[in-house]
Amino acid sequence: MASVQQRKGAGRPSGTDGSDFSYRMVVDSRYQKVAKGKLRLGYLIFGQVVSQIIALALLLLTSPKEKELDRFAILSISTGFLSIILGEIGRRRSRSAFLRLYTSISTISVLWSVARIINSPAYVKVMQQQSLNGLTTFELADAARVVSSVGLQVFVIVTSLGLVQNMSPKRDS
């Protein structure tokens, strides 16, 4: 019969005297911040998905009337969906490069949406009349979507930059 050797639990590893306790607590809180940031970013990405779907629906509903697709809208929607894919990959796999790219591309997408609204005939009409009376429901819905996207983007930038900072190792100067 072969004797089975049993390994004794060593308990505390040798070489630690408890002086690394504060370091371990700092690392632990950063992990918690990353987990909370990833959860918050997930909600923000979901909000961006909803915004992009609304933009796509508005584009498809207004296009048959105009007989020409708005190229700025197509550009904004396509870059928006691309940024969402990059953001979700970066969030799930904790890839800071993807998160930085996501933040940049989603900001560009929102800026294109703002530029499209400013260059629209509806914006000129509102500026001349100082009233929203002449706008269609689609134009009002699109303007509200863009304004909410700008607000959402502010939270995306703050959250993703905080997440990247907490995922990156601390540098000693």
Question: Mean pLDDT over residues 99-111, rounded?
Answer: 97
Please state, in angstroms and rounded to a whole number, the distance separating the CA atoms of residues 13 and 10.
7
Q: Is the pLDDT of residue 119 over 60?
A: yes
What does the pLDDT look like over 65-96, one tens digit per residue?
666 778 888 999 999 999 999 999 999 999 99
- CB count, 10 Å around CB of 28? 10
Please state, in angstroms and rounded to a whole number, the distance separating the CA atoms of residues 59 and 4.
72
First to last CA, the chain: 60
CA distances in angstroms from 28 to 16, 25, 50, 94, listed in the order given: 18, 5, 34, 16
pTM: predicted TM-score of the whole model, two decimal places:
0.78
Residues in Cβ contact with 120 at an 8 Å cutoff, skipping those fewer than 6 apart? 139
Report the SS3 class of residue 133: coil
For residues 83 and 105, the answer to whether their CB atoms sit within 8 Å is yes
Record the tokens describing residue 137, joined without a space.
């429901």
Q: What's residue 155's pLDDT? A: 98
Length of the chain: 173
- Nearest one of 104, 99, 122, 94 to 33, comparing CA atoms: 94
What's the chain's average pLDDT?
A: 84
